Chain A
Amino acid sequence: MQRSQPDHLRQFLILVFALLLPFFGIWWVASALLGLPAIGFVSTLLTNWMPGVVHSLYADGSETLLMTQFGEQGGRPAPLAGSEYRFGFSVDTRIISYSLPFYSTLHFATQRTNYFNTWVWGVVILYPLMALGLVSLCLKDLMTGLGTRFLEQPGVFVPDANLIAITYQVSVLIVPTLAPVMVWLWQSRDTPLLRELLAGLSALEQR
């Protein structure tokens, strides 16, 4: 009796929809913790890059706060001396870290020989992209919230406003969903699912 070949695509699709919500649930619960490595790195980067503007970036429960070197009066930045509060922004790190549950869903829905090692490598690749996304989020908040106080820092390189805007758009709209797919695609190129689909590609590239 001949055994029929498994339909890898169908299996993949069923598992993707079965795993998507559980992984997003785990991520939601652990999102504050998952963001910490990127927050720590970006805090060090920004406080050294723009010490006259950025005071700190830190996790406060499920929130991430970007504190500036300015005070606050009537919701506007003001000199710190004489201000009751420090001017800061709440940054939503989840808007970039949801690449992790998406990547995990794609990864574990694909039949492969080694699940854990490749998954760790995938996460390691995604973290720098998350950190870059967080930098762009912070720069956008600083630009829109502080205006010229941020854009005209003497002796400090500040990216062009248009570049900050474009980087922010790419980091929020494209990278969190595209990066997991690209990492998954690369890591899955030798899996049964993609091997047959990409066979023609390698043949054509060798010509």
Chain B
Amino acid sequence: MARFVITFLLVLLSLFTLEMLVPVQQHVIVPFTEVLARIAAALIMPFDDTVRAAGKVLQFRDSGFAVSIEAGCNGVEATIVLIAAVVAFPATWRARLIAIVAGFFAIQALNMVRIISLFYLGDWNTEVFSWVHLYLWPTLIMLDVLIVFVLYLRYLSHHEPDRDATLAT
């Protein structure tokens, strides 16, 4: 358990530092966040054509209300936590890779719900928006990471003979 925690923290700090580097922000994080804004707009448009995406900003054309998807709201930090946990836990690299890819989509799916829900909540009531944005959604996203990881552990425990045999080679 101690080795898991130490490895987890080391990988987490390394990836988080990497994410903070200016070139990584410029060439990976910001373009990725802009893609999220475009996907959110594309998902909303069939139901509400007053929405548009400009860069990482999602905006109502009629009211002018807009939200900018910033660090912490693009699911990158949550994905980093999941990657660190999966890498730190002993398993085959194939199992780890599947967990990371599946977990990434699980996190981003819920994060898309977060972005869209906050966009409408903010247009309706800024106090409710602040409460849900600052306190509730970060908790739900981390809960999502935890559930993905626990399900991954359960998968591993059901396939333990295979895992031990592979790790022993």
Q: Are A177 and B160 in contact (CB under 8 A)?
A: no
A37-45, A50-58, A68-76, A193-201 - interface stretch: A193-201
Closest to B1 in A: A189
Q: Are A199 and B136 in contact (CB under 8 A)?
A: no
CA gap between A130 and B147 in the complex, in Å: 24
CA gap between A200 and B163 in the complex, in Å: 9
Q: Which of B77, B139, B156 contacts A200 (CB 8 A)?
A: B156
Closest to B143 in A: A16
Contact size class for B? 35 or more
Contacts of A9 in B (CB 8 A): 150-151, 154
Q: Are A95 and B134 in contact (CB under 8 A)?
A: yes
Q: Are B72 and A201 in contact (CB under 8 A)?
A: no
CB of A140 closer than 8 Å to a CB of B: no
Closest to B153 in A: A197
Q: Are B71 and A176 in contact (CB under 8 A)?
A: no
For this complex, 12 residue pairs linking A to B, each with C-beta atoms less than 8 Å apart, are A20-B139, A94-B135, A102-B142, A172-B72, A173-B71, A173-B138, A174-B77, A196-B157, A200-B156, A201-B90, A204-B164, A204-B167
Which A residues lie at the B interface, using CB under 8 A? 9, 13, 16, 20, 24, 28, 92, 94-95, 98, 101-102, 106, 166, 169-170, 172-174, 176-178, 181-182, 186, 189, 196-205
